[in-house]
Structure formats: structure tokens, C-alpha cells
Amino acid sequence: MLSSWRRTREDQHVKERVASVFEDVMLRFSGSTLIHLLTLGLAASPLTNMDAVRLFCRTATLAVAVSYIYTLSFYSSCLVFTGYLETGYRHGCFCRRVPKQDRLDSKPAWYRYLMYTRYQDETLDPNPQDSHLLLGCMRRCYGDWITNTYVKPFVVLLYLVYISFGLMGFLQVSQGSDPSALVAMDTATVLYTRAQQHYFSSYSPVIGFYIYESAPYWNSSVQHDLLEYAKGFQRISWLEAYLNYLSDRNESTSQPRENFTHTLRHYFLKEPEFAHFADDIIFAERGQGEEPDVAASRIFLVAKTTENKREEMSILLDTLRRLSLTSRVRFLIFNPSFVYLDRYSTAVSSPLRHSLIAVIFLLALSSLALVEPLVAIWLGLTILSVQFGVLGFMTLWNVEMDCMSILCLIAAMGHSVDCSAPLLCCFASGRGESRTRWVRVALERHGIPSLQTLICYSASLVPLGSVRSNLTSTLFRCLMITACCSALHTLAFLPTLLTFLPPSKNRPGPHPDTDSHHRQEVECVEMNDTRVVDQITTV
């Protein structure tokens, strides 16, 4: 909005300037806001089974809506206020009328520095925007360089390299289910996790096998089932130790309930080597003079795994859970790491599904808004390309698919739309000139605002890189990759590809150097200032 405002003339009426800005900006701004609301809304919906993602996206959706309302109301009002200040030749910060040049020269240096405006240079510089360093470089250097015939093959080669490395990382995407990623770096939890992975990485976490109902443990068939469930594991089992204890005493393992429970309570658990099993058994009193029942018990299991530890744990978890539903002995299995295995079971598919739905919505929105159809196609391809690059490069930067990286993937979609949509719309709206000419015009009008946005965005991320936290480090890496991928597409890939790919420029249209906001009518504006003529006629 600010860039479009600065392209208007100060001698225009404020209403016309504001109308020109809204005409130039608000359609794209509304479209990108809808994309943000859609992607964040999908992530906050029941389609996502991750509470952390839903909570963040609900808050972010509210923030986007408030930002849109703020831009329409307060920020637009600031532009109107600034317009009236400029009409009255007043300073934008101090609201004081700027003195004439001869009177300003007699003031102290600090006063001249504070009260300087570009009105003094209008007579010398007919196009004051060229005095802006970035805009001048974009207009005179970068636009000609990026559209040069000899530079285009290298940009296309760079895009192929970008896709290749993105594919390399995409094929190595792994789920981030390590609980230590949630705590700060260099803590006791992280040190313990590293030691466990270094020395005992071939073993799974300790799985708790909880029998939460009173079961007939004295029955031989029940004993056989429980031993079969634990077969193949490294076990810490009171039942197995008790059955071996009975065998060593030449007693039958299949006994009446009273004998089985009596021996368990008064002999087995009294032995010093088996006394620690008392914490694994809960007894329930039955009646006066009767032996209590085993109301609940637990067994600990450890599985031998290979390098694909997480995949094997997921398969093992699903197998044991299905078995718990069909077994006649009611049991549960649990380990704190299962929380993360469950949480990230759909970590890869969920953001990709949201991305595809958002792209489909974007195509439908563009068709309803009567935007150039090829713009919608280009924008959809750009979103997918940025998403693909972010997903691949973050994997190459040792970032796994956890809750934070998923949030960054969702945010990357809206960020890529904000950067590339103005450039694409400006290019597609042009007619009557060559593709190269309209690419340069699009870069002049929208390249610098996008570049400034990306610079501010990247600068705001720099403090995150110094925070000693795994989640914050993941946030920094993903958002920095998002900024870099969006910058590459906006300033390099799209300007090059648009010079030889559709849409066509054969139909006649406005010349790129003409201002689309020129009016045909004649308007007289009264100016109460002695530096200009009393009446200015603008055509």
C-alpha cells in the first residue's frame, strides 16, 4: 500500500489517491488474506489431530483477521491524514508547514535536517523515486540483468538445482518424535537422550504392559497367552519370574486361585530377590478370611530394534494395540514416547493435504474474482514449488517433521502468496509490449516492496537463531528457508520463466510507461501556497 501510495501524485485530491491505492492493492491483499485464513483455518479444524497446531492456528487466524481490519481502517486513515499533510505542504512527522527554501536555508543545520522533504527537489528531479537506492538499482541494473538472454539459462539451471536438492531432502523426510526436542538445549534431558541413543540405540523405549482387570492368572491358558504376548521382548515380568519360582519348587503352575495367590503373597514376594515385584501387583480384598485377587498388574517390555527405530516402534505399537482389542485378557500398553509417535503419525500428509486444498481454493477464488486464469495457475505452481523447496531444504538442514516445522509449512504458503502475487498480477495485466518489458515493469513496481518485506522478515528472524531451544531453532531454520525460497521465486525464477512462458502479450493494451490512473476529465485544485501558481490544472 505504501509503495502504491508513493506512485501517486501529491497534487491529486486525497480521495483520488486513496481510491487509486485501493484499486491497485486491495484485490491482491484480500486474496492473500483469504489464503492465510484458509490455510490456518484448515489447520485449526478437526482435519488436524494435533492440539498444538490447532491452538497456534486459531490464534494466527485471529491475528490475520485483525491485521486485515487494521489495514482497512487505521492504516488507510493514516494514508488519508498523510495526504492532507502533503497537500498543505506540511511535514509528515511534525505536522508543521515546511518553510520555503530561502527561509529554510537560514535555519540551523539540525532544523534543516529534520524539516527536509522532497518538495525541495521536485524542480530538479522530475522522477524523485529514482533517488531511492533500491528502486534505482532495480530499475537501471537488476531488471535488465535478470532478463538478459545470457543470464536466463543460468537461472533455469539454478531452478533445476533447486528442485534437485528439494527432491533429495523430500525423500529423506523423517518424523520428529523425540521428546527431547521440546526442552532447551544442553539440559540433563538432552544429555540423557544422547547417551541413550549412543549406547542403547538398538533397544526400544521401555513399554509398560498394564493388565487393568482382575484376570485368572492361575489358569494355564491365560498364562500361556501372557507369555506369548511378551515373546520376543526383553522382559521384566513378575509372572514369568513367579512361574519359574513355582517350577523350581516342583509345584504346578496351574493351581487353584487361593493357593496361587497365597504362595504369591506370602512366599514369592517375601524373597529379597523378588521383593521389587511388589510394586507391579495390586491386590483387591475379597472378603473376611479369603485370599485377595490380583486386581491389576504390569510387565515391562523392551524390544530389540534396528536403524529404523521409529518405524518399527510404530508398527509394534499398532500390532500390540490391535491385539489388546481381541485378547481375552484386557491390557494396555504405554510409554511416554508413544505420545509423540501418535502425534506425528500424520505429520507428513497433513500439511501437504492442507496445501493442495488451499491451492484448489485459490484457483476457485481467482475464477470468481475474474483474475487472469493463468495468474491462478502460476500462483498455484509457485506455492507448490515454495512448499516443496521448504520441505526439502529443511530436511537437509537437519529439521524433522515436528509440530513447529508443520506450522512453518502452513505459514510458508501465505508468505509465498504475499511475495509473488503482486508480481504475477502486474505482469499478466500488461498488453501490447514484449514479455521482457512487462517483467521489468513488474519488478520496478512490486520487486522493491517484496524485497523490503523479505529483508525486514529475515532481520526479525535473526534473534531467534541465538535462542538455545530446539523448537526455536526449528522455527528459525524453517522461516529463514521460507524467506529464501520466496525471494528466489519472486526475484529470480518467476521473472525469468515469465519471459518465455504464457500468458501472451499479443493483445493491445496500455503502455507500461503510462499511468493507469490518469483521468480524462479536467480537475481544478485550489492551492493556497505562494510557491506555485494559484490554480493548477491537472489533466
3-state secondary structure 60-123: HHHHHHHHHHHHHHHHHHHHHHHHHHHHCCECCCCCCECCCHHHHHCCCHHHHHHCCCHHHHCC
The pLDDT of residue 331 is above 60: yes
At 283, give phi and psi (nearest 5°). Answer: -100, 150
Residue carrying C-alpha cell 533517488: 131
Q: Are residues 329 and 247 in the same domain?
A: yes
pTM above 0.85, yes or no: no
Residue 97 lies in a domain: no
Q: How many separate domains does the chain show?
A: 3
Residue 217 within any structural domain of the chain: yes
Q: Which domain holds residue 435?
A: 132-186+350-501
Residues sharing a CB contact under 8 Å with residue 488, sequence separation 6 or more, in sequence order: 158, 162, 389
pLDDT value of position 349:
60
Whether residues 321 and 359 share a domain: the answer is: no
- Chain centre to alpha carbon of residue 456: 18
Angle (CA) 205 211 214, round 5°: 170
What residues have CB less than 8 Å from 388, skipping those under 6 apart?
163, 166, 167, 170
Q: Based on the fold, state whether residues 313 and 369 are members of the same structural domain.
A: no
Look at residue 265 and tell me whether its pLDDT is greater than 50: yes
Burial (CB count <10 Å: 0-12, 13-18, 19+), residue 472? middle
Q: 500: how many CB neighbours lie within 10 A of its CB?
A: 10
Give percent above pLDDT 90 in the chain.
Answer: 22
Q: 315 and 216: one domain?
A: yes
453 and 394 in a single domain? The answer is yes
**Which of the pair, 48 or 270, is modelled with greater confidence?**
270
CB-hemisphere CA count at 13 Å for 324?
A: 16
| CB neighbourhood size of 438 (10 A) | 23
Say how far apart CA 139 and CA 147 lie, in whole Å. 12
Is the model more confident about 433 or about 477?
Answer: 477
Residue 178 gets the label, from left (phi > 0), alpha (psi -120 to 50) or beta, of: beta
What is the dihedral angle through the alpha carbons of 310, 315, 321, 326, rounded to the nearest 10 degrees?
A: -170
The H or E element spanning position 537 is strand 535-538
**Distance between alpha carbon 467 and the CA centroid of its chain, in Å?**
19
How far apart CA 1 and CA 198 sit, in angstroms, is 55
Question: Is residue 201 one of the residues assigned to a domain?
Answer: no
Say if CB 424 and CB 366 are below 8 A apart. Answer: no
Residue 222 has pLDDT above 50, yes or no: yes
- 494 and 384 assigned to the same domain: yes
Q: How far apart are CA 413 and CA 382, in angstroms?
A: 9
Does any domain span residue 456?
yes
Q: What residue has cell string 509440530? A: 403
User: What's the pLDDT at 392?
Assistant: 92
Q: What is the pLDDT of residues 397-431, one digit of tens each?
A: 988 877 778 778 877 877 888 888 888 888 887 77
pLDDT tens column, 175-215: 666 667 777 787 887 888 788 778 877 777 788 899 988 88
On the question of pLDDT at 333 being above 90, the answer is no
* pLDDT 10s digits, 96-136: 787 777 777 777 878 777 776 655 554 444 555 555 677 77
- Statement to judge: residues 137 and 226 lie in one domain: no
Query: Does residue 479 share a domain with residue 387?
Result: yes
- Please report the pLDDT score of residue 524 as a whole number: 43
Q: Which residues pair with 208 in a beta bridge?
A: 300, 334
**Which CATH number fits the domain that encloses residue 416?**
1.20.1640.10
With respect to residue 121, please indicate whether it lies within any of the assigned structural domains: no
What's the whole-number mean pLDDT along residues 506-533? Answer: 48
Q: Above 50 in pLDDT, residue 537?
A: no
Closest CA to 340 of 508, 180, 145, 504: 180
Nearest to 217 by CA among 269, 260, 179: 260
Q: Report if residue 535 sits inside a domain.
A: no
Give the model's pLDDT for residue 63: 93
The kind and range of the H/E element at 526 are strand 523-526
177 and 265 fall within a common domain: no
Pair (357, 389) in one structural domain: yes
Same domain for 496 and 355? yes
Q: Are residues 268 and 217 in the same domain?
A: yes
Does 112 fall in a domain? no
Residue 517 belongs to a domain? no
CA–CA dist 262, 278 (Å, integer):
14
Q: How many angstroms separate the CA atoms of 204 and 192, rounded?
A: 15
In angstroms, how far is the first alpha carbon of the chain from the final one? 24
Residue 14: beta bridge partners? Answer: none
pLDDT given for residue 505 in this prediction: 65
What 3 state SS string does 136-154 have? Answer: HHHHHHHHHHHCCCCCHHH
CA dist 30 and 32 (Å) reads 6
* Nearest-angstrom CA–CA distance, 453 and 385: 20
How many beta carbons lie within 10 A of that of residue 83, not counting itself? 21
